[in-house]
């Protein structure tokens, strides 16, 4: 007997996990919007951030939510340096080279983590990990509510950077007309690197939000990013509202599919959406042009 | 015929190796290296000549491998027939993915993404479906007879994979000289311009992808005969997609011998690292990732291209002025 309350709970849970997906997708779509390449290293960087948050807790006793304020700037710097000194110079002005370099980075980072920390599954034990909030008709896990709220704060912050700062203006200028921006005196290599850094910071924050309830392995990030690819394609490559709405939508789909079909088939469902959207409407729901 | 002489030379040298080398370890290394060269040769057809970078060639390697394994294990089909069926299934998979992706106009990032996703979907499906042995994988029955494509000696396997590679080298060379090959290169250099000149870019890309998938699937079928085992992580794993593109990129994309050269380098590096640091998971792929970045950064045309550039520079330096005027300038 299927009660509507269970269904509502599944949808709410989907929204909560969808918010984290949205944040991962936000990083991807930001990079695509400006650099016009898909960052295949996104998942590996997420795994690296998961390990950073894990060790910040284990070695320094730093709460993952507090560690965000340390790890996000560190990953911004890492992303900046990667684009400025590795991906940019290696591209030789060809997008295909950039794609290959991000793929190379993904393989390098993921396997360096595997080499250093092995495939063991690590988790952190936090007193509040299993606490839940009583909504009267259902319960919601506290960490999920926190991450849901945090994602909206981050999205708002990102919007403020884009809309109100000079750097944000320069990023938008490069995204819409690279040559013109260059002629106007904007340092495109710097803006590319800032964008890559922001995207990397997004995925790092998502990792910190996940650590209290999720397990840490060298390949943990990859699972999220494959979902994020789907979201970005669904929402439209480069579209920020598309990433947010797409993320929430995919969260709900996964939660309901998992509920009705079981875990592993829920994942296949997401991939099928992905392939169908790519083939039928590659510019996505909100994208301007492919 | 003259164009095929270098291939004949290289194959003759490789064929002479078992006369000198009897070590099983070395022969095993060479068999695996040539198999990876064949995978890379398949990728090179589409990525090197056609400029369509697939990040999921495991989809075709795995489809070939599983087709022959399933036919043999579940239906008792003869291994040689299974081998042919595997290649056909790989080609069909390439044609289907290609038709869908190219019809939708997917290029560059999108094409890389869709190929990666197809390989990943197939991996997940193969890891749960009963017919593929789900999480356990498929084990072939040991039956060491030539008519069941199993040999006692590694030398025999070596000659089989060398013959397969030789065929792929000849196909590549013939492709280079054919009208189809010229169209394909035109698509790589500037797809819109090629279309404007009347090249049916969809058909050209589809043809290249089908051929590419067939060659890579042949390597997958060979894998099954050689190791007599396949599971979802081997067949559709990331490692094979990475090695498929890494070998021609290291050796030289869009060249006949690029994948072979690249496979020798990649496999030597992998084995060398294992000797130094022990067989730790992640080590070889970690090195491959670093090498991929370094090659694109410092030698974007691969070893073949870099050697050609250096050769050209030296020749220009020593050539007398009148002799140099007739030379075409190579970009």
Q: What is the 3-state secondary structure (H, E, C) of chain A?
A: CCCHHHHHHHHHHHHHHHHHHHHHHHHHHHHHHHHCCCCCCHHHHHHHHHHHHHHHHHHHCCCHHHHHHHHHHHHHHHHHHHHHHHHHHHHCCCHHHHHHHHHHHHHHHHHHHHHHHCCCCECCCCCCCCCEEECCCCEEEHHHHHHHHHHHHHHHHHHHHHHHCHHHHHHHHHHHCHHHHHHCCCCHHHHHHHHHHHHHHHHHHHHHHHCCCCCECCCHHHHHHHHHHHHHHHHCCCCHHHHHHHHHHHHHHHHHHHHHHCHHHHHHHHHHHHHHHHHHCCCCCCCCCC
Within a domain: A22:
yes
Could you say which residues of chain A have pLDDT below 70?
A: 1-2, 262-268, 286-290
User: What proportion of chain B, given as a percentage, has pLDDT over 70?
Assistant: 96
Beta-ladder partners of B322: none
Q: Which of residues 23-42 of B touch A (CB under 8 A)?
A: none
Test the A interface: residue of B113, B119, B121, B129 with most A CBs within 10 Å: B113
Within a domain: A238:
yes
DSSP H or E stretch at residue B139: strand B138-139
CB contact under 8 A, B296 and A97: yes
C-alpha span between B252 and B299 (Å, rounded): 9
Residues of chain B contacting A279 with CB distance shorter than 8 Å? 100-101, 103-104, 106, 114
DSSP H or E stretch at residue B290: helix B283-298
Q: For chain B (length 331 residues), average pLDDT per consecutive 10?
A: 87 92 90 96 95 94 96 94 96 95 85 89 87 87 86 91 96 94 94 92 96 97 95 90 93 92 92 84 88 90 84 76 44 38
Cα-Cα end-to-end distance for chain A: 45
Domain assignment of residue A205, given as a range? 4-280
Residues of chain A contacting B300 with CB distance shorter than 8 Å? 92, 94, 97
Let me know if domain B2-300 sits in CATH 1.10.287: no
Residues of chain A contacting B109 with CB distance shorter than 8 Å? 32, 36-38, 95, 99, 237
B281 closest CB neighbour out of A119, A279, A282 = A119
C-alpha span between A209 and A269 (Å, rounded): 25
Within a domain: A159:
yes
Within a domain: A92:
yes
Cα-Cα end-to-end distance for chain B: 28
Residue B323 pLDDT = 45
Q: Which residues contact A149 (CB under 8 A, 6 or more apart)?
A: none
Test the B interface: residue of A32, A41, A108, A225 with most B CBs within 10 Å: A108
Q: Evaluate the CA torsion angle B101, B106, B107, B108 in order and state its sign.
A: negative
CB contact under 8 A, A275 and B114: yes
Which is nearest to A78 in space by CA: A113, A110, A46?
A46
C-alpha span between B310 and A170 (Å, rounded): 41
CB contact under 8 A, B285 and A107: yes
**Angstroms from A114 CA to nearest CA on chain B:** 6
Residue A256 pLDDT = 82
Residues of chain A contacting B55 with CB distance shorter than 8 Å? 40, 99, 103
Test the A interface: residue of B48, B117, B283, B309 with most A CBs within 10 Å: B117
Beta-ladder partners of A140: A133
CB contact under 8 A, B293 and A36: no
CB contact under 8 A, A274 and B101: no
CB contact under 8 A, A278 and B110: yes
CB contact under 8 A, A264 and B288: no
Closest residue in A to B98 (Cα) is A279
Residue B326 pLDDT = 42
Closest residue in A to B279 (Cα) is A115
CB contact under 8 A, A264 and B128: yes
Test the A interface: residue of B54, B98, B108 with most A CBs within 10 Å: B108
CATH code, domain with A169 = 1.10.3470
A111 closest CB neighbour out of B112, B117, B286 = B286
A108 closest CB neighbour out of B245, B249, B290 = B290
Residue A78's CB is within 10 A of a number of other CB atoms, namely 20
B283 closest CB neighbour out of A97, A115, A267 = A115
Within a domain: A289:
no
Residues of chain B contacting A108 with CB distance shorter than 8 Å? 286, 289-290, 293
If phi > 0 it is left, if psi is from -120 to 50 it is alpha, else beta; for residue A236 that is: left
CB contact under 8 A, B104 and A101: no
CB B10 within 8 A of CB B260: yes
**Number of domains within chain A:** 1
Residue A272 pLDDT = 75
Within a domain: A285:
no
Burial class (CB in 10 A: 0-12, 13-18, 19+), B173: middle
Residues of chain B contacting A95 with CB distance shorter than 8 Å? 108-109
**Tens digit of each residue's pLDDT (9 = 90 or more) over B68-124:** 999 999 999 999 999 999 999 999 999 999 998 998 888 888 899 889 888 988 998
Between the CA atoms of B294, B297, B301 and B304, what dihedral angle is there, to the nearest 10 degrees? -30
């Amino acid at each position: 007997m299927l009660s509507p309350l269970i269904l509502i709970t599944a949808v709410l849970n989907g929204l909560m996990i969808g918010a984290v997906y949205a944040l991962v997708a936000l990083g991807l779509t930001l990079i695509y919007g400006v650099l016009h390449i898909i960052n295949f290293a996104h998942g590996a960087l997420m795994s690296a951030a998961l390990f950073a948050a894990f060790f910040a807790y284990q070695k320094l006793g730093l709460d993952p939510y507090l560690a965000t304020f340390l790890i996000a700037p560190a990953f911004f710097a890492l992303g900046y340096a990667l684009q400025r000194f590795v991906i940019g110079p290696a591209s030789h002005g060809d997008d295909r080279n950039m794609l290959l370099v991000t793929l190379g980075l993904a393989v390098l980072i993921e396997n360096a983590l595997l080499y250093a920390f092995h495939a063991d599954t690590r988790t952190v034990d936090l007193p509040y990990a299993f606490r839940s909030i009583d909504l009267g008709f259902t319960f919601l896990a506290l960490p999920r509510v926190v991450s849901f709220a945090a994602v909206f704060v981050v999205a708002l912050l990102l919007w403020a950077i884009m809309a109100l700062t000079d750097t944000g203006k320069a990023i938008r200028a490069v995204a819409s007309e690279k040559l013109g921006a260059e002629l106007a005196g904007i340092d495109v290599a710097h803006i590319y690197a800032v964008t890559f850094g922001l995207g990397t910071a997004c995925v790092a924050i998502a990792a910190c939000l996940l650590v209290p309830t999720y397990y840490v392995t060298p390949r943990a990030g990859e699972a999220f990013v494959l979902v994020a690819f789907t979201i970005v394609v669904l929402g439209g490559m480069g579209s920020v509202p598309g990433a947010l709405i797409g993320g929430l939508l995919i969260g709900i789909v996964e939660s309901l599919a998992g509920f009705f079909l079981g875990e592993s088939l829920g994942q296949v469902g997401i991939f099928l959406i992905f392939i169908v959207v790519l083939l039928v409407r590659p510019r996505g729901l909100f994208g301007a042009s492919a | 015929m003259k164009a095929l002489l270098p291939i004949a030379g290289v194959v003759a040298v490789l064929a002479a190796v078992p006369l000198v080398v009897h070590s099983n370890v070395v022969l095993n290394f060479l068999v695996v290296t040539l198999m990876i060269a064949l995978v890379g040769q398949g990728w090179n057809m589409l990525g090197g000549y056609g400029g369509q970078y697939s990040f999921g060639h495991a989809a075709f390697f795995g489809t070939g491998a599983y087709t022959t394994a399933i036919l043999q294990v579940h239906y008792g089909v003869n291994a040689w027939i299974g081998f042919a069926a595997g290649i056909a299934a790989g080609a069909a998979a390439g044609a289907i993915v290609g038709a869908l992706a190219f019809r939708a106009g997917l290029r560059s990032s999108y094409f890389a993404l869709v190929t990666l996703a197809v390989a990943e979907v197939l991996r997940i499906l193969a890891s749960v479906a009963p017919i593929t042995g789900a999480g356990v994988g498929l084990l072939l029955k040991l039956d060491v007879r030539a008519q069941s494509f199993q040999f006692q000696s590694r030398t025999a396997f070596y000659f089989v994979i060398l013959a397969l590679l030789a065929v792929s080298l000849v196909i590549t060379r013939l492709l280079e000289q054919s009208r189809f090959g010229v169209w394909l290169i035109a698509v790589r250099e500037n797809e819109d311009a090629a279309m404007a000149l009347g090249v049916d870019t969809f058909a050209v890309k589809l043809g290249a992808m089908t051929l590419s998938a067939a060659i890579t699937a042949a390597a997958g079928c060979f894998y099954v005969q050689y190791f007599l085992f396949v599971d979802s992580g081997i067949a559709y794993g990331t490692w094979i997609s990475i090695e498929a593109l890494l070998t021609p990129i290291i050796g030289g994309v869009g060249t006949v011998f690029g994948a072979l050269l690249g496979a020798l380098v990649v496999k030597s590096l992998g084995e060398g690292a294992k000797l130094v640091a022990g067989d730790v998971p992640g080590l070889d792929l970690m090195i491959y990732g670093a090498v991929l970045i370094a090659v694109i950064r410092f030698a974007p045309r691969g070893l073949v291209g870099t050697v050609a550039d250096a050769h050209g520079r030296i020749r220009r330096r020593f050539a007398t002025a009148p002799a140099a005027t007739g030379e075409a300038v190579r970009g």
